[in-house]
Structures are given as structure tokens and as C-alpha cells.
Amino acid sequence: MARAQKPKQSRRPQAKSLKQNNLRGFAKRQSLKSQRSSKYSESSDVYEYQPENVRRSKVKLQLEKDELDGARRDISGSEDEDDGPKRNGLRPRLVGENDDEGGLGSDEDEEIDSDEAFDESDEERFAGFNFSTKKRSLQSRTVPLIDLNEDEVELEEAPSENASASEGEDSAADDEEEGDPEDFIDVLDMIDGKGPAESADEGEHTQKEERPSASKARVEGDDVPHLEDEDEDMHDEEDEGISSDESEEDESHISPMDDAISASGDEDDDVGTSLHDLQSFITNLDAGQKRKAPDDEAAPTTETGEARRQKRRMLKERTEAGEENEFAPHRGATKLNLDDLLNPLASSSSNLLSLKKSAKILTSISAKNQTLSAPLPQRTQERLDREAAYQQTKEEVDKWSATMKKIKEAEHLSFPLQAQPAGRTSNLELAAKFKPTTELESAVDRLLKSAKMREEDIAQTESLKMNHLSVEEVSARRAELAKMRELMFRAEAKAKRVAKIKSKTYRRIKKKEKAKIAAKLGEGSDDEDMNEETRMKHEVERARERATLKHKNTGKWAKAMRARGDLDEDQRRDISEMLSRGEKLRRRIQGIGSGDESEEGEDDTEDDEEGAADRIKASAFEELAQLDKGSEGEEDSGRKGKSIFEMKFMKDAIARDQQRAKQMADDFVREMGESNHEDDEDDELTGGRIEESSGATIERVGGRVTYRPGAQQSQLRTVNSLASDTSSITLRSNDLPSDVARSVTPSATSPIPEKLGIATEAPNPWLAPRQDPAKAVPKKHEIAVSKDSASVEKSKNKLRKKAQKHEEEQSKARNDAAVDISMSNVMTLGDNSSAGPSKPKTRSQSGNQRDDGDDDSDVHSEVEEQERLLDRKGKGKANGVKAFEQRDLVARAFAGDNVVRDFAEAKRREMQEDAPKEVDTTLPGWGSWGGTGTRKAQPKPHLIKKVAGVDPTTRADYKKAHVIISEKRDKKAAKYMVKDLPYPYTSKAQFERSMDIPIGTEWNTRVGFQRGTLPKIVTKPGTVINPLEKLL
Amino acid sequence: MVKISVLQHAPSTHLPARPGDPTPTSRNLDPLMHPFARARERTRALNAVKMERIFAKPFIAALEGHVDAVETMARKPGTLNVVASGSWDGGMIVHDISLRRHILRVDEAHKGKISGVCFADEDRLLTCGVDRNVKLWDTREVDENGAGPSDVRKPLNVFPGKSAFNSIDHHRTDPIFATASNIVQIWDETKSAPISNLSFPTSIETISAIKFNLSESSVLASIGSDRTFTLYDIRTGKAERRIVMQMRSNALSWSPTFPTTILLASEDHNLYTFDIRSLKTPSQIYKAHVAAVMSCDWSPTGHQFVSGGWDRTVRIWQEGRGTAPEVYHTKRMQRVTSTLFTSDAKYVLSGSDDGNIRIWKARAHEKLGILDSRERAAIEYRESLKQKWKTDAQVNKISRTRHIPKPVHKAGQLKRTMLEAQRVKEERRRKHTRAGESKPTAEKRKVVIAEQS
């Protein structure tokens, strides 16, 4: 029976491969092979086909145990060789063997003989014999088939021979018998290269066993998708190498073994007969085991069939009671388990583990599937292979996806993409590589070498020197060196910079500086040590100079020079030197004197500035006063004394002189005495008010009348008013000076506080400008008046008018002072009118106001002014309204800005413009009667042009008060419009933004321009661009 | 002397302070200060695009020598100037295109047409013909036999085949090559018989062209007379996948930059790019030819390709842009049977039925010769202006307009009309069927009929 299984086993791989949806490629197989070879490397042999043989031997071993009662063949000894001889011997007998052996039952002896007789060479022979064109794989594959056949034959024999053979075994054998012929045919077919045609029975049988093996193969195959099916191998042998075939064979040989095991494990339950099979198998096993040794011995000797039969019987008996071991497990009520078979192997090796693992799967699967599916048709299988291959290629190609994505998304590509970056060579690199080639170079090198001036030599010597020094010393030295170098460098840089300056003035200044420094040094020494000596020396020099009169052109030499007509250069220079010296001397003489004076003055001022100033002023005034007195005294004395001075013209002249002197004195007083005579002001102000009303002063001194504008003159007039009124020139004018002198002092001081007063009213931008009467009279006025006396009346009129105005204002001011001042009035007052109330106010409140003025001296900022204003207002009103006033102020500032109304108006205008309208295009005088009496005819309808505008109700901004949406469409602009949003942009804003930014140099920085215009793909002309390469 | 004070022009204010620095600008870069920038740039763009059209003179030279139509061309990898061409009369010429002379000329290289040319490594050249032979040539001007360019050359090796060869291509690195006849065969240069046959089972077609992938060099693709495109891998030794299309393809080319992309020139006037990872639909359809496309070749940059058609035009396409290619034509140029880009992506070669090989500029308006930096900057500025303002109607119109031969124009019109009629018909049909019963299929989905594995 086991023999009967054998053909199945051997064919199993093929069938299995047919059935498998093998996505497994040869790669997988190769890995399998390698695994297997490693597995079986233990039983190493010198023979080429050792692994397969070993495996097969194993299989055989089991099978023999399984089926044979007697040990018909050697398991132990020459297993390797035993296949070949068998084949060889059997081949001719293939057809007729059944009959022969049935009678004889001594085949095994023959087999044994043949086993021993033949060597490995038989395989080759076999190859030559049968499958000359095909490769060994096929042969080796077919070998077991043939064997199997034989075995089956033997099997058939066995029952007949074996009286003690169980019925179950017989039945099994019968089953096999049925399959046998087909099997046979099958093998032949296979040899021919056709696909195996299997009977239903056999198919069933094989399926059972194949499934596990297939699954096992799958387990081993892990994940490599395409395992090439053996069937394919069978058919296109030429493609496959020998090695792969071998590997396949290995596989095929391994699987039978597993199958056998699995079959023994599982089939018991399924098939009723199988249990019996197993039993017989076990018994046989035992027998085989026992008989191995005797067999070997008996091998050479030929035994009779009876004797063998006898032996068998004996063995049979023995096995039934046999001891337990791996080949004969205990026969209890329990089923035979796979573990029972594997247990003995536990100690053997590591490959047991894998075996167990696979066995486990086998058991689990075989339990479920009893029938195995038919193998796929070749075409389908190939398609699956292709599918798998395509998947793999896809995976391979997909490794490029990251690179491709990067290239696609790059903003800038410079081809070739995989160009080798050309490294720059540094100086050091060059120096290191340098070797003198030319004569000159070598000569230089030699020189350097001899002088030990080469880089490395220098470094060496330096390092040698450095060796003696400690670290601190070295660092200090280095630091010092660095410092020196730095300083030198700086000095050099500075010198260079200075040397570049071309300016003459700079040079001159520089020279002077130098001289000064030198002099200073000399002086310093003078002052301190050589005081006496140097002074003496200087004195001597000076004396000599004076003696030689070198500085004067009165000397003898100078005279001689002058006498000479033409001078040469040296002489001229000498002369000029002499002159300059004289000049210097003169200057020194004068300069020393003035310098002394100034020094004195300075000293005084230094003592106590203010006190001294006061004192000086006081003394000056005293002097003036004395002068006045003196002049008066003179006058008196003069009147009494000399007659000539009594004469009128003389008196006039004197008066004029005096007047002039007075004026000068006045000026002086005015300048100096501002601060001193404030007290006087009060009196003067009250008195002088009336006079001030006339903006200009009319001065009459001597025979001439002078009109002068300005405040200060008005004061003059206050005193002189009486005199001027007389308008005639009398002797009384003689006493003018005294009057003037008296009046001048107060009047001169008066305008200043007035000015201050004005200053206090300094301009507030929010307020209307106020006219300053003092300033209001321009200088022009003065000139005009003085020029033509005829215009005196005019000016008088003017003055009068002004005076009147003034009076009015004053009255107003008086009223205002009494009444509460409304803010609006203050704010809206225009030009002059504002001056009225404010000025009087100042006057009226002069008392406290002046205090303010005095405190803040003469400067008043705008802020203060405003504050004061507010204060003043505050007197009239409540203080809390300030904020409101501010707001009001702003409101007033923007008064008249009717924005909303303007907008509405603009919109209305827009709508009107766009509205549909009719335009009369009639040309007057054309197509109508002219002349007098013609009435204007109605415009002809064809001349009325209708402009289809936009109806106000259909406007986009209709009833939207806050917007004006223009309905005009600019045809010219439409030309530049884009109809649709261009492709890459997703929004209008995006597109517009991109168009907004210009890219030209005019609107961009240089770098920005370059970046903005960089093309996406840059290729260099003349550069080969190679396709992308896989970089390892 | 009278002192003259001159207006001083201090160069330091106008020159960079240091050599590398940018030149100081005295402009105000505030965009608000330039209200007319946009208008000015538009005008410049318009001028740029006009200039482009004015200076578009793509034709450079014609290489003569072939007696019959130029069937095939191949450039020598790693060189700029060496191009081999084979003709229908069996003549083979190796050109130096920069000097416009023949490096090698063999008049009777094959009996009948030379169907394929490709360079093996070094100076060797492989040709295949309909005389069922593959021949290996030495292209050096003086070969080891001492035969000069004018002498009669003998092939270094002859590989006999069983049927007429239609195409040949060499592996990028290994000394193997593939030929296309009724099957695909892989040959070793050192062996006289093919080392393996690759074919899609059950196919009885004639393979018309074959190409190795350039980056993934074990992958190769072929097109066949059965309207098929087939993918092979010499590692698995299998034909892996095949697609059947509406119309047969005439040429194919692998992208040098995108290794998964392949370009097919189809009989249906279109070109298709496929991603070999998903062959169900083309990744892009390129429509402009008005007759069958006979040849195609990628630019080495992989961003452009050239195609030659039965309509006597050469077209240069931008990758990913399916319309409006640059179109080249001449009065005397006949059907374009082979096209080629040079290795620097600057020139395009076209071999046509009239037996001439023409050299064109890849960019018609490009200035040849040395450019100084200012000129380059100006050119780049113009290009980017054109790019920016291409949405402007006027600019776009000028840049789009091409004058093409009347027959081509007419054919285009006719084609448009026909397509439009088809579309209308389809639309009507759809309108009169029950709602939702027939849906319009995308153009890309119509291309591939079946994908076979």
C-alpha cells in the first residue's frame, strides 16, 4: 500500500503545483531550496544529488515501513544508490512485472542485488536512455513514478503472498489496483510531456494528501507571491536551470514525507480502511525495523520465497506484540497521533521545530478539507503569475514616486538634475598637491628648502622655539604681538587716511596746531623753569630788533631798499617781512591796550553782574542828569554872558545840538533803563493814554516838523503837545530840552510794559487776529508822511478816524467789562473788533494783569494765554463747562461740513446723469426759417436723440442711501478685463493680487527681480542631460 | 585762471560699495508711487510676445544623405552631436549634427528598410532590418580594420533572427538589447541567439516598437499591431500587462525624468501619456495633430516632447498641456516618420519621407549663441511677463496664432466639424434616451478598451 502511495507522492508535487494558485515565483522557490539544503546539509555526502537522495531515502524508509512486512530492501546502507538501480532494473519490466512477481515474490532480493550492483552512474545512463532531450529534473521526477509502479506491483503481490495480511490492507490494495493502470498511463503521459489525466478515485486520493503538502509549501513560502508551478516547469523545461529543477524535486520529495505523516495521522477517522492501513503499516514498520540487519546480511545471498514468507509471518506475529518505539507506537484505544510519531525525534535536531510547526498546520487543515480542488488551467495560472509580476514591477517603479513628486512640485529646476557638484579647490589643497615641475619651480623650491623657509620648515622652527616656553608666556607673547599688530595697523590706516586729505585749510590748521603745541611746550618750560633766562633772551631780541628798526621802513636799510628801483625776489621778501613785522608790532601795541580794557571790564562784571550793571546804569543816568543840569546851567550862564550866543540862530543851533545829544541820551536810557523805570510807568500810562490815541507822533524840533510813527514817539508828544499845538517856532522852544529831558525818561520807559501787555494777548489761532496798534502803523507810513507835507492832512484825518474808533472800542470795552462775555462773541470776533474789547480789558484790568506780566517776565506762551482766557471766562461762567466748550470748539471748527447732504446731492446728480433723456440735436438755422418774426419751431422728432440711460429705479444702488454704484461701463477698460478666472487661481482676489505686483526692475529690488523672473526650467546649452538614475 | 566749478558726478553713489553688493538704487520702490506700473508692464508683455513671434525662426538646417524616407533615428547617449539614422532603402548614416557631416555612412546596411537603430555602449551601433538581421557596427570614423568613412564597412557582428525585425532598443547599462518582431526577444551582445523570448500568451500580433525604460532599466514596453501596449520586465521574464486601445500606436517613448510615464503616439491623431502603475486611463491626452502621429520623443528634461505626424508637421508639446503645441512645418517636409530631441534639450530633429533630417530649435524664438547677463535678464523678464499676462486677450491671441499650411488647417477644420457633429449626435441620443440611462463617458475613459493581465 505504501508502495501504492509512492506514485502519488511523487506525482503529488506536480499535481499540487497544478492545483495551487501559485503566486509564488522562482525566487520563493530558491529560498525554499536554500532552506531545504540547509536542513539537509547535516547528512552531507559527496554526491551531487545527495540532498534529494537523502530525502527520498527518508521517504522510502517510511514507506517501506509502512507497507512492507518484510524488509525487502536496505534502508540502512546504500540508500543513495538504491533508487537508480531499481529504476534501471525495473524499466524493462514495467509492463509485465505484475505477473512475474506475483509468482516469484522474490523481487526484493533481486532489487537488493541490483542495488548493490549499480552505482550512481546509472542515473546518467538512465538519462541517456529515456529522456535524452529533457533535463534531469524530469528524469528524477519520473523516477519515483516508475518506482511506485513497481511498488504497487509489489503491493499487489504482498497480499497474495502474505497469508496473514489483513483484509483492510487488501482492500486498500484493491483500491490502489484500480488506480494503478491510470497511474501508469499518467507517468507515460508525463514522460511525453502531457498533463496528467487522473481518474476520479485517484484524484480523490491524491487530493487528500496534496492539500496538506500544498499548505505546508505555503507556510514555507511565506509571502513571496509567485511560486512557479512545477507543471510549467515540466512543460517548458528549457527555461529553467538545473538547480531550480533540483530544488523543485527537493520540494516534491519533502512533501511526500509530510503527507505520509499526515495521512497516518488523520485518515484513520475519515476512511474506515485507513485505520487498518495504519495498523498494518505499523506492524510492518516494526517488522522492517527488526529485519533490517538480517536483511543486510542476507542481501548477497538469495533466499527463497517461502523462507521470506516464513520470516514475514514471524515478524508479523512479533510486531503485534512489539515494543513501543518511534516506528511502532503503542496501540491503544486512542488514535495514532502525529505527535506520537514526532516524539522520538524530539531529541534529534532543530529542524524538528519547523517540522512540527508545519505538521500542526497540516493537521488543522486536513481536518477541515477532505477534498482538494482541481488544479487551475494553465492559462489562468499564467495570468496569475503575470498579475503577480506586474504587482512587483509596480512596487519597484513606485519607489520613484517621491522623486517624481519633488520634481513636479519644484518651482525651479536646473538640468541636469543629478549633476555632480563641481567642488572648488582651495588654496591649501593646491599647495598640498603642488609639486615643482618646471626648472624654475624646482630651483625656487630648492632655495627655499636650503634656507629652511618652506611652510613646514617655518612651522617646525616656530614650534621648536615655542617648546621652551610655558603656556602663559606663549599666550602673553601672542597677545602682545597681536596688540602691536593691531596698533600698527591702526596707525597705518590713520596715516593713510590723513595723507589723502587735500584740503589746504586743513593743512594750515594742522600746521598751526602743531606750532601751537610746540609753542605751548616752549611756554610751559618758560613759565616753570627758564623763566628768567628766556625772558632775558626775548628782551635782548626785542631790543635788537628795535635797534635795527627792522620793523620800520625808516631804517637805513629800508631807505636804501626804497631807493633802489627794481628789487629781486629776496629783497622783496625781506621788505615784506619787515612790513609785516612792523604791522604786527603795531597791532600788538594797540591790541594789548584794548585787551587790558576788556579784561578790566570783564573783571567788573564778574564781581557782581547785576549789582554792577545797576551801578553802571545809575552812574550813567547820573552823568546824563548832570549833563542836563550842566547844559541848563550853561544856558543860564550863556544868556547872561556872551551876547553872540544870545542871537537866535546861535541859540537854534545850540538847541539842535542839545536835542541831538538828548536823543542820544534817550536812546541810551531806553536801552539801559527798561527795568528801572517801571514804577514811573503807572503815572505815565494814565497820562499818556490820550496822546497814544494818535498812532503817530509828530515831533517838532527846531524849524522842522517830523512825523514819526511808533509808541515811543507818542510819549514824546505827551510832553510836547502843548508846544506843538502852538505850531509856531518861538523862543520858548529853548526850554524844550528841559521838558524833553524831563518827559523823556518816563515816556521812554512806558512803551515797554505796553508791549508786554500786547504780548500777553499773544495770538490764539482759534481767535481772530488782533491788530496791534503800535505795529499796525507801518514804517512805510512814516516815509510817506515825511516825504510830502501835503499829505499831512490826510494822515491827520486818518489819525482822527483811528482815534474815533479807539474811543468806540473803549466804550465797548467798558460795556463788556460790565457784562458777561459770551463765548461765541469772543470766538467769532473779527479782525479789529476783537482788538477793541481785549485791549481795553487789559487796560482796565491793568493792575492785576501787570502783575501777571511781571511774574512771567516778558514771554507768554500760547497755552498760558489760553489758560488765562479761560480763567477770565471762568469768572463769568461756571467752571464745569470747560469740557463742553472744548467740544463746542471742535464742532465749530468743522461747522459747515454737511457731508451727508453733499453725498446725497452727489448721488442725485449721478442718477440724473445716468437717467434716460432726450437730447435736442437741432442745429439752429438749419431746416427752419430765419429772420425776424419767426417763432421757434418745435424740434423735429427725428432730431431728438434719445439716450437710453439707466432708469433710477433699476439702479443697483436704488434705495441704498449710503452708496453710489456707478452704472457706467468703460468700454476701453473692458478690453483689459479677463472674462473668467484663469486656471490656477481660486479666487478673484488672488488673481488680482498676483497681477498687482509688477515684476520689473523699476518696481523691485535687484534680488526680487531676479527671483521673480527666474524661469522654471533652466538648461545650459551644450550640457548633456542624462535620464534619471538610481543612486545607490 | 578762472576757476570753473563743474557739476560733480560722484561715482560712489551709483556704484556698489563692494564688488558683490547690489547697485544702489535711487528709485522709490513703494508701489503706491507707481500707479502706472501695471499698464507699463502690460505694454511690455505685449511687445515681448510680438517680439517672440517676430523672431520665431526655428529651422536651422537639413541633413541630407538618405535616398529614401528616414525611418528611424537614435541619438548617442552622452553626446550632443552624434545621431544615427536608418532609411527605407537600407542605408544607415551616423551624423555629426553640429558639423553637419557624416561620421559613418553605410548604404547597404540591410536589405530592405532599416526598421530600428540604437547605440550600444561605446562607439557601437545596432541596426535591425526587415531582412531578419540585427547588425552591430563600429561607428568610429576609422574602425579597427582601417576602413574610413568612405570605405565599405562590414558589421562587427550579425545576429540572425527568424522573422523581420520592427524595432530594436538597447539596455541602458547592460550589454543586452531587445528586438521586436512577432515576439519580443532579448539578446546578449555576445551571443548569436536570443537569450529569452517575451510574449504575451495568445497574442499573434506583430510588435511594432519596443523601448527600455531609462531609469528602471529592466522594464520595457512594446506596442503591437493589435492596438496593444504591453509591459515587460526582464527580471521576472514575463509580459506583465497589456492594454488594448481604440487605435493602434505608432511609437512610444519613456520619460527620462518621470520613470513611470510612457508616451504613446497613436494612429487616432492623439498622443497619450500613461502611468504604468495604472494603465486603465491615460494621464493626459495631447490633441493637435490632424493625422496619425508617427513618432514621438521626450525632451531630456521630461517637461517637453516632440512628435511628428502624417500631417507633415512637427509639434513640440509641454508636458501636461494637452493643446496648443508649437508647430513646425516646411514646404518641402513630407510625412514625418521619426523625431528626436537632442541631449541638451535645445534642438529637435525630424526625419521625414523626403529623406532629409531637419534640425529645429526646440524654442522657436530662442537666441542662439552667447548671452551676456543683462540680455539674459531681459529675456527672462520678457518670458515671465508673457507668462504673467497670458490671460490678457490681446497677448494671448498673438502668442497663440500660428500660420500653418492650408491642408493642415483645412484638415483641422474638418476634424473639428466631425468631432462636433459626433458630440452633437451623442448629446441628442442621450437626450432621447430615458433619463440617466446613458451617461457621457470621459474622453480619457474611452481610450483603453481592455486591460489584460
Give the per-residue pLDDT at A624. Answer: 64
Look up cell 499548505; give the residue: A215
Question: What integer pLDDT is reported at residue A278 of this predicted model?
Answer: 66
- A298 φ, ψ (degrees, to nearest 5): -80, -10
Nearest CA to A153 out of A91, A96, A72, A74 is that of A96
Distance CA B429, CA B423 (A): 10
CA B347, chain centre distance (Å):
10
CA atoms within 13 A on the CB side of A296: 10
Would you call B277 and A1024 a contact, using CB atoms and an 8 Å cutoff?
no
In this complex, do A1000 and B40 lie within 8 Å of one another by their Cβ atoms?
yes
Hunting for cell 510625412 — which residue is that?
B335
Q: Give B228's contacts (C-beta < 8 A, 6+ positions apart).
A: B200, B203, B205, B242, B243, B244, B245, B248
Contact B240/A1030, CB-based, under 8 Å? no
Residues A558, A549: Cα–Cα separation, whole Å: 9
Q: Which amino acid is at A506?
A: Y
All cell numbers assigned to A378: 494553465
CB-based contact A632:A691 (threshold 8 Å): no
Q: Which of B172, B219, B393 sits opposite A397 (nearest CB)?
A: B219
Q: What pairs with residue B307 in β-bridges?
A: B296, B315
Of A139, A108, A109, A101, the C-alpha closest to A123 is: A139
Nearest residue of B to residue A384, measured between CA atoms: B453
B-proximal residues of A, 237-266, CB under 8 Å: 239
Alpha carbon distances (Å) from B174 to A669, B26, B221: 120, 61, 17
Which amino acid belongs to residue A152?
Answer: E
Nearest by CB to residue A390, choosing from B27, B37, B453, is B453
Residue with cell 469768572: A875
Q: How far is CA B115 from the centre of its chain?
A: 18
Q: A417-442 burial, b for 16+ CB within 10 Å, e for fewer?
A: beeeeeeeeeeeeeeeeeeeeeeeee
Instruction: Please tell me whether residue B90 adopts helix, strand or coil conformation.
Output: coil
Rounded to an integer, what distance in angstroms lies between the CA atom of residue A225 and that of residue A28? Answer: 8
When CB atoms are compared, the residue of B29, B78, B276 closest to A397 is B276
Q: Which residues in chain A touch residue B345, judged by CB atoms under 8 angstroms apart? A: 415, 1019, 1025
A889 in contact with chain B, both atoms CB, cutoff 8 A: no
Q: What is the dihedral of CA A881, A884, A885, A890, to 10 degrees?
A: 170
Work out the angle between the directed axes of helices A121-129 and A136-161 (0-180°, nearest 10): 100
DSSP B294: E
Measured on CA atoms in the order B14, B20, B22, B24, is the torsion positive or negative? negative
Nearest to A227, CA basis, from A15, A20, A26, A19: A26
Nearest neighbour of A1015 by CB, restricted to B216, B380, B394: B380
Asked whether B338 and B350 are in contact (CB, 8 A), the reply is yes
State in Å, rounded, how far the first CA of chain B is from the last one.
Answer: 102
Report CA-CA distances (Å) from A773 to A413, A746, A758, A839: 83, 20, 10, 10
Type of residue at A885: E
Cα B275 from Cα A408, distance rounded (Å) = 14
For residue A182, the model assigns a pLDDT of: 42
- What DSSP designation does B25 have? P
Q: How far, in Å, CA of B332 to CA of B358, rounded? A: 11
Which residues in chain A touch residue B392, judged by CB atoms under 8 angstroms apart? Answer: 976, 978
Facing residue for B259 by CB, picked from A226, A383, A400 = A400
> pLDDT tens digits, residue range A831-889?
444 344 444 444 444 444 444 444 444 444 555 566 566 566 555 555 556 777 888 88
CA B35/CA A401 separation, integer angstroms: 46
Cβ of residue A394 closer than 8 Å to a chain B Cβ: yes
Residues of B within 8 A of A407 (CB-CB) are 257-258, 302
Could you tell me which residues are beta bridge partners of residue B117?
B127
CA dihedral A357, A360, A362, A366 (to 10 degrees): -170
Distance CA A1026, CA B78 (A): 7
Taking the CB of residue A130, how many other CB atoms lie within 10 A of it?
A: 16
Q: What is the mean pLDDT, run by run of 10 residues, along chain B of 453 residues?
A: 78 79 75 88 96 95 94 95 95 94 92 95 92 92 68 88 95 94 94 92 91 94 95 91 95 95 96 95 96 96 96 96 94 95 95 96 93 93 95 93 94 95 94 88 93 89
How many beta carbons lie within 10 A of that of residue A146, not counting itself? 24
Backbone angles phi, psi at A754, to 5 degrees: -60, -45
- Residues A635, A640, A646, CA angle at the centre, nearest 5°? 70
A positions 969-998 inside 8 Å of B (CB): 975-976, 978, 982, 994-998
Calpha distance B275→B252 (Å, rounded): 13
Distance in Å, alpha carbon of A403 to nearest chain B alpha carbon: 8
Nearest to B301 among A400, A1025, A1030 (CB): A1025
Which of A390, A392, A1020 should one mutate to test binding to chain B, selecting the residue with the greatest count of B CBs within 10 A?
A390
d(CA A139, CA A123): 9
- Collect the ranges in chain A with pLDDT lower than 50: 1-19, 21-23, 37-271, 287-307, 309-311, 526, 593-607, 634-635, 637-639, 641, 675, 678-697, 699, 701-702, 710-763, 765, 767-789, 817-860
CA distance A777 to A808: 19
User: What is the CB neighbour count within 10 angstroms for residue B150?
Assistant: 9
A62: which residues sit within 8 A by CB, 6+ positions away? A2, A257, A260, A261
Residue B73 has a pLDDT of: 96
Cell of A491: 596707525
The pLDDT value recorded for residue A550 is: 63
The rounded mean pLDDT for chain A is 62
Q: Is A1015 on the interface with B (CB under 8 A)?
A: yes
Q: Would you say B362 and B299 are in contact if contact means Cβ atoms under 8 Å apart?
A: yes
What pLDDT score was predicted for residue A985? 92
Q: What is the pLDDT of residues A276-303, one digit of tens each?
A: 666 666 656 554 444 444 444 444 444 4
Contact B263, B275 (CB under 8 A): no
Cα(B302)–Cα(B325) distance, rounded to whole angstroms? 15
Q: C-alpha angle with apex B204: B203 to B206, nearest 5 degrees?
A: 110
Return the biggest CA–CA distance within chain A: 209
Q: Which residues contact B48 (CB under 8 A, 6 or more apart)?
A: B382, B383, B385, B386
